[in-house]
Structure 1
Amino acid sequence: MADAPRHNLPAEPNRFVGRERDIGDLCAMFDETRAVTLCGVGGIGKTRLALRVAHRLLDDFADGVWAVELAKISRPELVVQEIAEVFGLESERGRDLTDAVVTRLAGSSCLVLLDNCEHLVEATAHAAAALLAGCPGVRVLATSREALRIPGELIWHVPPLDLPGSDPSAAESVQLFLNRARAAGTQLGEESLPDVARLCRALDGLPLALELAAARTRMLSPGQIADRIDDRFALLTSGDRTAPARQRTLAAAVEWSHDLLSEAEKTLLRRLSVLAGGFDLDLVERVCAEPPLSESRMVTLLGALVDKSLVICDEDRGRFRLLDTIRQFAAERLADSDEERMVRDLHLRVLCKLQERAFDAEFLTPGVTWRERLAAHTGSRDRLADQRAALEWALRSGNITMGLRLCMRSSGLLSLGGSAAEVVGWVERLLRQDLSLVVPEQIGLAKGYLAYGLLSRDDLDSGLAAAREGLAGMAGDPFVLATAHTVAGGALLRMGRGDEATVHIDSALAVARENGDRFNEAGALIEASIYSLQRGRQREAQRGAEDAYAVANAHGHPWILAMAASHLGLAAETRGDLESAAEHYDAAISWLRELGNRGDLAQNLARSGRVCAQLGDLPAARERLAEALAMARECGLRQAMNRCLVSLATLARAEGDLESAVLASSAVATLRESMGQRTGSVKVDELLSAARAKLGEGRTTSLWSRGRSRPPYEVATQVLEGRRPEPATGPLQVGPVRGSLLTAREQEIAGMLTRGLSNKAIAEELVISPATVARHIANIMDKLGYTSRAQIAVWAADHGVPSA
């Protein structure tokens, strides 16, 4: 298995010039200081210096160096979310995300680089302070135009580059200018040094200003540039006299660069500011080619902005981006113009159309290969920054209809790529707005879409409620209708309400088949097969799994293929065909790796590890479970952690470690209760019977209580590392072991089965419906691992469960 990456630092776009002394001093400071903030005006080189320091410190932190880019977000509450996403954590309802991040990093030795904090300085300060307080091995390096003002912070004011002295060629500012001029295609000789030195002094050694000036050497000499920059500085002396001199200098440099553009270039630059992420020519043509600009001029105008260093392009010139300082400058010009609403409305409409086209290719269009569907999904993920900007504008402008429309077709926001929290947040924010102009059918569809996100993050009750609310008012979109029914069915199955689930599953199948929707048809068939497994009908479950895989294969989406393959593996594992189960899980793992879905990948790695343990390949089992556990922790999803614990219990039993198996199974029980989940595949009663026989009632009870009281990850780590539970050192006051995990009603019904009563007779005696009795009996079978009423009756008699 390849080593996990130890950083996410971007490659430097060009040669780093100067600041060697600063880098050495900053690196040394982390021996004694836990928080350093690089302060200075925009364009002074804070980010480049921070990245160079971070690269230099890579070997000093066992758990790596991780950059969190905050410039792309605009709301304070997203600061912690952005940090969480870097470390693979996802938000859950009812759980404080800051606490989750602190828990994740509590034992880590790493450097966290918080870049571009100034617009969110208060929220960033709170997040950084929490990290430092709760994570002793974490160090924070921040860049901001102002200090965070947190305890223990060392503030480093980033100076300009060294200005020319007696030997101009030795000055850092001159070296930078010459290097960037050379990159622009201009070779400057020694005769230019006096003018270059004058220019560097005029620009106060500010890196961004020097780079902008160097880009002009294709058409102007250094002397001509210096003459014009001096003039521009004079024009700014009547501005804000309280602003720092360097800030005015940078503003002059950017303003000067802007004023040298043609009117058409200025128009394109300010329109480009609405493009929040990287962009390609196609997106520029769609969003920016409105009068007085035309689509035919976009290539020339964009090329001109690239040549002038106002737009950055990648090596193959296929993707472009704006520097943040330039974007902010251009956005201010757009806001001052009379075209901001037009451009932002167009951006929102274009994003909707692009996402709808991608959604069709990913899910709806027949005959598309899985590679093409994956490409459509990847494209949606690549446009995430633009989708976020468009959704912010929808909220700001009150265009809720278009905002919901974009959410409904944004697979990049869904958990298929590994995250469910974001789409939930956007839809909830949109639905809190004035909905008087939104048609009820669209509100219903949005709630159906919301339900999928809620279920994906293990919020069963809320997901079921949202699905039902959506179904009550939904019309016009059969794909979302089928999805909502499948979500409701899946939630009910996990909650142990199989009879209710089948109503939704049957409805999902009917809608999907009527509309040729193979994606949702496969999903509904998987849920139907799960219900068959819960009822002990293995042949029926196997046929359902095979049908689901055939339909998924005909559709071709890698996620639904992975889900179908995973369920084929579960069906094979249930009937004892472990070799086939291993093959199916491996197929699912391959697709999920390519898709980048860590939550589902963790669950399938755990299942694969469980099969390896049952086959006796304990090293392979431990390796896969280690990867699954690390991924489950990074995702922060409880269901993924649940799967890991289930499989670790199996591994412990295979190694003859009943104590660890009891500990893990107890943690599983607690985790499932926290999710409202009533079903599972662990035969807990059989395990506890074996534990009581070997370990004794007292030790078994102690282990069970300990597993329920400790954090799931802590229990999982102990079992994975093979550390056996230590014996209790004193008297332990605990309640009885709930060996069967049965509710009081389920125990009551189990006892009544010893009397040979039918469902109808039990229903009459308890004053409930026969269907409810049947549901309880199915739950009992699942929890005890039995397949007949007779087995339940024997179990109840053996355990002294009252029969009346």
Structure 2
Amino acid sequence: PAPSAAPPAAELLALDAVRLFVDRARAAQHDWTLADDNAPAVAEVCRRLDGIPLALELAAARVRSVPVALLAQRLIDRFRLVATQDSTVPPRQRTLARLIDWSHDLLQPGEQRLFRRLSVFAGPFTLAAAEAVCADEALPLDDIAEHLAQLVDKSLLVLQRDGGRYRLLDTVRQHAATKLRDSGEAAVHRRHLAHALALAEAARVPLGGPQRASALAALDADYDNLMAAHAQGLQLGGGAGASVANANAVHDDDSARQALRLCFALREYWISRGLVGPGLAALQRTLAHARLQAADALRARALFDTGHLFNLSGAPAQARGVLQDSVAIMQRLGEHAREAAILQPLGLAHAQLGEADQALRCFERAVLLSRQGRHTRQLAAALLQCASWHRLHGSPATADAHYQEALALAESLGDDELAAAAWVNLAMLALLQDDVADARLALAAAVPRAARAGALLSVLWVLDVACVLAAERGDKVLARHWLELSESHYRRAGLQRDPADAAFLDRWRQPLTVGPATR
């Protein structure tokens, strides 16, 4: 309503903005009520704030300490004082910025310090994370919980009731980030990077075992924060556009290296969650960093991860190039165990490029080095690759022996993803030999393991075999359904089947894509 025409309280409640203000005011002070005597002030507040929900929440949070009439007057004075001269900024955006700035200025010094430091979190965060990242001599750890509660009460911070996490709304976070940049507190970004790295590395081992599902869920919850920390690490390390603290910041090699280690820790997560494209982009940005050009084990590992993701995204030529560079570094350093790991995706790149002999040499050397080094999981993975080569090239007995050994190793480790891969490959091998009964048994064993693993590729392998089994019993409708579902996931995740799996499916693909569907 216009300032000269504020209606009675009952009529004001018909307005969405007023109802929101009243609701948030009562949340701040349970006995607060809208009455005819304060209705004009409430109307003025809503008008001044253009009905913007976040702005109304911020203002309403103040009624516990400021009468609404005084609140309206302060808003008038404040907006007149900080009126922007930038006519390119939309009026509603100017209104919200002014109110956030005003709310910030009313905070206690410790609350202000925490508010700006929380801007390093791009997504929801826990109390423990806030304590680890934001506390220091100027902001004692014991004060963090109380300051968080105050920021929630003042609507500058949201507490998510379902998971007990906090988050800053994007608009508020941008404002807080500006405050942090102006403060020059670069140490906050370093602590955030260290915290993110510790979290991701703690999940890396569980990702390869029985606790895989819970590890994936933990990374899901913090993924936005992890990627924000990665970007901050590159900036702190002197990457392109570095400006995290200020233009005169001293950059450090350690931050760039921590950003790279964060990529290492997230590789399996990216694959499992169908984030190969974003993961590959992050690795390439990191590899291009000026402080990470030394031909050492760290760079070799980065090249290895990049090549692996190139393979999965259907870019074998690029994969072959970076993986050959990685192998060369490891051979020069005498790191044979790591060489064995790199040879597997290198062999796959050769296979995708039609270089069968080179592929087999890579797979067989990976098996040999893994046996010599007694690296059980790596040996199981190398055996799977070697077996699939033999399956593709018409040696089912050799393929079966390798699959069986890989399966035994995977089961001994409790590694559901590797075990699911072994069972699915055994199902494919059985189908290629027209043994439908054994294929069904193998798929039945693969399904629960794939479900527990929570890895996208495991699920896609299961769908491909389910498609062929449905086709074998003449159910074209169901077979097409499984095929279309699998294909859509491959496309959405930016993944490609390896040569052996693609050849397996091609045997049944044409009958499924032509002619009428029958059941």
User: Which residue does the alignment assign to 1:688?
Assistant: none
Output aligned runs, 1:278-297, within 5 Å.
278-297=124-143
| Residue 252 of structure 1: aligned partner | 98
The answer to whether the 8 Å contact 1:164/1:174 transfers is no
Question: Structure 1's 416 and 230: CA in aligned 2 closer, same or farther, altered over 3 A?
Answer: same
Distance 1:569 1:560 in 2: 14
Structure 2 equivalent of residue 347 of structure 1: 192
CA distance in 1, matches of 2:430, 2:213: 28
SS state at 1:409 partner: helix
> Conserved in 1, the CA contact under 8 Å of 2:352 and 2:498?
no
CA contact (8 A) 1:599 1:631 kept: no
Is the contact made by 1:413 and 1:422 (CA closer than 8 Å) also made in structure 2?
A: no
CA distance change for structure 1 residues 558 and 282 in 2, over 3 Å: closer, same or farther?
A: farther
Alpha-carbon distance in structure 2 between the residues aligned to 1:421 and 1:241: 39
The CA distance in 2 between the partners of 1:529 and 1:311, in whole Å, is 54
Q: Partner residue of 1:751?
A: none
CA distance in 2, matches of 1:642, 1:307: 59
Does residue 186 in structure 1 map to residue 30 in structure 2?
yes
| Aligned pairs for 1:123-142 within 5 A | none
Distance in 1 between residues matched to 2:500 and 2:350, nearest whole Å = 18
Which residue pairs with 2:321 in the alignment?
A: 465
Shift of 1:200: 2.0
What is the CA–CA distance in structure 1 between the aligned matches of 2:84 and 2:347, rounded to whole Å? 68
Q: 1:532, CA displacement in angstroms?
A: 2.9
Alignment match, 2:514: 719
Matched residue SS, 2:348: helix
Match of 2:235 among 396, 407, 421: 396
Partner of 1:540: 398
Distance in 2 (CA, whole Å) between partners of 1:430 and 1:511 is 29
* CA–CA distance in structure 2, aligned partners of residues 410 and 438 of structure 1: 22
- Asked if 1 retains the 8 angstrom alpha-carbon contact of 2:212 and 2:453, the reply is no
Give the TM-score, by structure 1 length: 0.56
Among 386, 393, 418, the alignment partner of 2:225 is 386
Any conservation in 1 of the 2:6–2:39 contact (CA below 8 Å)? no
Which residue number corresponds to residue 759 of structure 1? none
Amino acid of the structure 2 residue aligned with 1:554: S
Q: Deviations over 1:71-114 (max 9, x none)?
A: xxxxxxxxxxxxxxxxxxxxxxxxxxxxxxxxxxxxxxxxxxxx
Alpha-carbon shift at residue 190 of structure 1 (Å): 4.1
**C-alpha separation in 2, matches of 1:411 and 1:556:** 20
What does 1:589-628 correspond to in 2, within 5 Å? Answer: 589-592=447-450, 597-598=455-456, 601-628=459-486
Structure 2 unaligned residues grouped into runs of 5+: 239-254
Contact 1:164 1:170 in 2 (8 A): no
1:310 — aligned with what?
Answer: 156
Mapped partners of 1:267, 1:493: distance in 2: 56
Instruction: Specify the SS of the correspondent of 1:273.
Output: helix
Instruction: Answer yes or no: is 1:428 the counterpart of 2:289.
Output: no
Q: 1:327: how far off?
A: 0.2
**How far apart, CA to CA, are the structure 2 residues paired with 1:494 and 1:420?**
18
SS at 1:316 equivalent:
coil
* Cα distance in structure 1, aligned partners of 2:483 and 2:201: 38
498, 508, 511: which one pairs with 1:650? 508
1:213 corresponds to which residue?
59
What amino acid is the match of 1:333? K
**C-alpha distance in 1 between matches for 2:356 and 2:27:** 67
Partner of 2:388: 530
Matched, 1:409 2:262: no
Q: Which has the higher contact order (CA 8 A, sep 6+)?
A: 2
Cα separation, partners in 2 of 1:720 and 1:289, compared to 1, 3 Å: farther
Question: 1:131-210 maps to which residues of 2 (within 5 A)?
Answer: 164-165=6-7, 167-184=11-28, 186-191=30-35, 192-210=38-56
State the shift of 1:292 in Å.
0.9
Amino acid at match of 1:625: L
Residues 514/638 of structure 1: CA separation in 2 closer, same or farther (3 Å cut): closer
Task: Quote the offset at 1:453 in angstroms.
Answer: 0.5
SS of equivalent to 2:349? helix
Q: What SS is found at the alignment partner of 2:120?
A: coil
CA contact (8 A) 2:267 2:305 kept: no
Matched, 1:580 2:438: yes
Instruction: Determine the structure 2 residue equivalent to 1:490.
Output: 348
In terms of mean alpha carbon deviation, does 326-335 or 163-172 score higher? 163-172
Q: Shift of the alpha carbon at 1:319? A: 1.5
Classify 1:564/1:174 alpha carbon distance in 2 versus 1 (closer, same or farther; 3 Å): same
Residue identity in the other structure for 1:411: R
Q: CA shift at 1:612, angstroms? A: 2.5
Task: Measure, in 2, the Cα distance between the counterparts of 1:362 and 1:242.
Answer: 49
The answer to whether the 8 Å contact 1:632/1:641 transfers is no
What is residue 359 of structure 1 aligned with on the other side? 204
TM-score calculated relative to the size of structure 2 = 0.84
Q: 1:301 to 1:571 in 2, by over 3 A?
A: same
Matched residue type, 1:555? L
Structure 1 residues 492 and 524, CA gap change in structure 2 (3 angstroms) = same
Partners of 1:354 and 1:443 in 2: CA distance: 22
Partner secondary structure for residue 313 of structure 1:
strand
Q: Partners in 2 of 1:580 and 1:545 — Cα distance?
A: 14
Deviation at 1:470, TM superposition (A): 0.5
CA distance in 2: counterparts of 1:379 and 1:221, whole angstroms: 44
SS of the aligned residue for 1:320 comes to strand
Cα drift, residue 408 of structure 1 = 1.4
**Equivalent residues of 1:349, 1:402 under 8 A apart:** yes
The answer as to 2:310 corresponding to 1:454 is: yes
The structure that has the greater radius of gyration is 1
Q: How far apart in 1 are the matches of 2:259 and 2:132?
A: 19
Shift of 1:281: 1.7
Q: Tell me which moved more, 557-566 or 256-265.
A: 557-566
Which amino acid in the other structure matches residue 348 of structure 1? L
Alpha-carbon distance between aligned partners in 1 of 2:386 and 2:6, rounded to the nearest angstrom: 76
Q: Distance in 2 between matches of 1:506 and 1:382?
A: 39
Shift in alpha-carbon separation, 1:245–1:409, aligned structure 2, 3 A? closer
2:497 is paired with a residue of what secondary structure?
A: helix
Structure 1 contact 513–521 (Cα < 8 Å) conserved: yes
- Unaligned runs of 5+ residues in structure 1 are 1-158, 652-659, 662-715, 724-804
Q: Which residue of 2 aligns with 1:440?
A: 296
Indicate if the aligned counterparts of 2:343 and 2:366 stay in contact, CA closer than 8 A: yes
The question of whether the paired residues in 2 share the 8 Å contact of 1:311 and 1:322 is answered with: yes
Relative to structure 1, the CA distance from residue 630 to residue 499 in structure 2 (aligned partners, 3 Å threshold; closer, same or farther) is closer
Distance across 2 between alignment mates of 1:458 and 1:570: 22
Greater percentage in helix: 2
Percent same amino acid at aligned positions?
30
For residue 117 of structure 1, what is the aligned residue in structure 2?
Answer: none
Residues 183/430 of structure 1: CA separation in 2 closer, same or farther (3 Å cut): same
* Amino acid of the structure 2 residue aligned with 1:259: D
Q: 1:500–1:217: structure 2 CA closer, same or farther, 3 Å change rule?
A: same
* 1:559-616 per-position Cα deviation (integer Å, ceiling 9, x unaligned): 3232222112122223332122123335445554565554553343122211222234
The amino acid of 2:431's aligned partner reads E
Distance 1:720 1:374 in 2: 41
Count residues with an aligned counterpart.
493
Match of 2:246 in 1: none
8 Å CA contact 2:446–2:462 kept in 1: the answer is yes
CA distance in 1, matches of 2:122, 2:457: 27
Distance 2:140 2:364 in 1: 52
Once residues 294 and 645 of structure 1 are traced to their aligned partners in structure 2, the CA distance between those partners, rounded to angstroms, is 61
Aligned-partner Cα distance in 1 for 2:12–2:466 = 65
